[in-house]
Amino acid sequence: MLSKDFLWGGAVAAHQVEGAWNVGGKGPSVVDVLTAGAHGVDRQITDGVLEGYNYPNHEAIDFYGHYREDVKMFAEMGFKCFRTSIAWTRIFPNGDEKEPNEEGLKFYDDLFDELLKYGIEPVVTLSHFEMPYYLVKEYGGWKNRKVIDFFVHYSLTVMERYKDKVKYWMTFNEINNQKNYEYPLFGYTCSGVIFTKEEHPEECMYQVVHHELVASAMVVKEGHKINPDFKIGCMMACVPLYPYSCNPDDMMYSVEAMHDRYLFGDVHVRGEYPSYIWPEWKRKNIHVNMEEGDAQILKEGTVDYVGLSYYMTNAVKADHVADGNGIDGFPGSVPNPYVKSSDWGWQIDPVGLRYALNLLYERYQIPLFIVENGFGAIDTVNEDGTIDDDYRIEYLRAHIEQLKKAVIDDGVDLMGYTPWGCIDCVSFTTGEMKKRYGFIYVDKDNEGKGTLKRSKKKSFYWYKKVIESKGEQL
C-alpha cells in the first residue's frame, strides 16, 4: 500500500490557468505573445501583443478570479497537494527590477493561504514557460548570463516571502524540452530564445541550458539557507525512448538517444556534466562558455528530488535517424505497434511509467515525484450537464496501477502524484481549450467563448475515491 504521506494532488501552471495577464501590475511573459494553434498547426510567436490575434493565455480559465472556488473543489477531491507555478511577471513585471511588485506577491499569499486552509500543500515551480517578455527583448533571454542573477533574485524573493507556506519547490519546468532545438516553441518557452535563428542552434541551446543549470544550483543552495526544510527539485519531461527492436543497433541507438534526455537530470542530481557529453560536444564542435566557479556551484546545488512529467514513450530505430526533431518525436522515432495513441498522437503506455520510474530511481537514488501525467482528450457535455470521461479514468487508473508496482514491487521512493491539468486549462503545445485533462470541466472553447463555469466530470468522483482509499480503490 502507498504510504499515508503520499502526496496525491493535481498540477497546473500559472500561465495556463490564471489569465489576468495584465492585471495587478503583471508584465507580459513569453506565453502572452503565443497565438492559438491546433494539432498540426503551430502556435505563432508574435512580435509583441498585436491586434487581431487570439492569445489564449491572456484570459485562460481566469483562475486569478476563480481560485477560491477551484481550490474548494480540489479540497473536495481530497487533494493533499496542489502544484502550480508562480508567474515571474507578477512579481517582477520586466524581470530586471530590484523591488518586487507587492500586488503580485499578495496574490500568491492569498492563494497559498487558501490551499493551506484545507491542508493542501502548495508545490511550486519557479519557472514554467513564463519568463518576462522584457528580458527576451532587452537581454536576449537566457543567452545572456545576466539573466541568472535576475532569476536568482526573483526565486529568493519568493522563497523568502513564502518560506512558512511552501515547502516543495522546483526550479525549471521540463528544462529538457529545449533539446528539441529545431522546434521554436520549446526554446522560446524554456529560455526566450529561438534557436533556429541562431548561427549554431545546438550550441546556443547548450549555452542557455548551462546558464539555467547554474541558476538552478544557486537557487537550491541559497534556498536551503532560507529554510533548511525546503525540498527543492528539478523537473524533467520523461519520455523514455525504447529500442524499436532487439537489433543491437536499435538498442545502442536508444542508449545514445537517452543521453539527450538524461543530461539535464544528470547535472541537476550529480552536480556535474556526465562523461558522454564531452565527446559529443567535441564531435559537434560545440563550445559552451563556463565561468570559473560554475563547476563548484553545480556541485553545491544538487537537487533534493526529481520531479517528472510522464505522458508517453517513444520507440526509436537506428536506421530512421533522418528527419531531425519533429514536435512529436525524436530523431529515429517510429510508431510503436504495441501501444495506442491519443487524438494528438501521444502514445499511451502505462507500463512505460513503471519503466521510467525504475530507470530514474536506479540512476539517481533520490526521491521521485510524478508532477504531471494525464490524458488530453475532447470531452462532450451531456444534455443534463454531466461529463462521462471514462477514457480519462481508464488512462489514469492504468498509470496509477503501474506507479504502485514501481513503489511496492520495485522499491522506488515516490513522493507523490499530481495529474496534469486537474482543472481544464489552455494546452501548452497547441493553445487549445478542447485538449482537456481536467477532473473539473471549464466552459470555454478554442475561440475563447464560454461562461467559464466549472463542473465536475465523472473522473472527479473517481479520483476522490482513489485518494480516499490511498490508491486501493481504482
- Tell me the catalytic residues: 174, 372
As measured in angstroms, the least distance from the Cβ of 97 to ligand P53 is 26
* Residue 83 Cβ vs ligand P53, minimum distance, rounded to whole Å: 10
Binding stretches for ligand P53 (CB under 6 A): 13, 16, 173-174, 177, 237, 239, 309, 311, 372, 376, 420, 427-430, 435
Q: How far is the CB of 174 from ligand P53 (least distance, A)?
A: 5
**SS3 letters for the chain?**
CCCCCCEEEEECCHHHHCCCCCCCCCCCEHHHHECCCECCECCCECCCCCCCCCCCCCCCCCHHHHHHHHHHHHHHHCCCEEEEECCHHHHCCCCCCCCCCHHHHHHHHHHHHHHHHCCCEEEEEEECCCCEHHHHHHHCHHHCCHHHHHHHHHHHHHHHHCCCCCCEEEEECCHHHHHCCCCHHHHHHHHCCCHHHCCCHHHHHHHHHHHHHHHHHHHHHHHHHHCCCCEEEEEEECCCEEECCCCHHHHHHHHHHHHHHHHHHHHHHHCCCCCCHHHHHHHCCCCCCCCCCHHHHHHHCCCCEEEEECCCCEEECHHHCCCCCCCCCCCCEECCCCCEECCCCCEECHHHHHHHHHHHHHHHCCCEEEEECCCCECCCCCCCCCCCCHHHHHHHHHHHHHHHHHHHHCCCCEEEECCECCECCCCCCCCCCCCECCCEEECCCCCCCCCCCEEECHHHHHHHHHHHCCCCCC
**Residue 389 amino acid letter:** D
287: left (phi over 0), alpha (psi -120 to 50) or beta: beta
Q: Are 380 and 319 in contact (CB under 8 A)?
A: no
Nearer to ligand P53, 187 or 243 (CB): 187
Indicate the residue type of 409: D
Q: Which is nearer to ligand P53, 101 or 336 (CB)?
A: 336
Candidates 342, 310, 187; CA nearest to 240 is: 310
Q: State how far the Cα of 423 lies from the Cα of 437, in Å rounded to an integer.
A: 7
Q: In the complex with ligand P53, which residue's Cβ is closer, 16 or 207?
A: 16
In the complex, residue closest to ligand P53 by CB: 429
CA distances from 430 to 47, 342, 376, 420, 453 (A): 19, 14, 11, 15, 22
Residue number with CB closer to ligand P53 (174 or 260): 174
* Lookup: cell for 69: 472556488
For the bound state, the minimum distance from the C-beta of residue 425 to ligand P53, rounded and expressed in Å, comes to 7
> Residue 211 CB, nearest distance to ligand P53 (Å)?
20
**Please, what is the minimum distance in Å from the beta carbon of residue 372 to ligand P53?**
6
Smallest distance, ligand P53 to C-beta of residue 11, A: 8
We find the least distance from the C-beta atom of residue 185 to ligand P53, in angstroms, to be 8
Q: Phi and psi of 222, rounded to 5°?
A: -70, -35
For ligand P53, the closer of residues 325 and 358 by Cβ is 325
Residues 81 and 120: beta-carbon distance below 8 Å: yes
Q: Quote the least distance from Cβ 177 to ligand P53, whole Å.
A: 5
Q: Which is nearer to ligand P53, 89 or 101 (CB)?
A: 89
435/444 with CB nearer ligand P53:
435
- Residue placing its CB nearer to ligand P53 in the complex, 89 or 173: 173
When the beta carbons of 134 and 420 are compared against ligand P53, the nearer one is 420
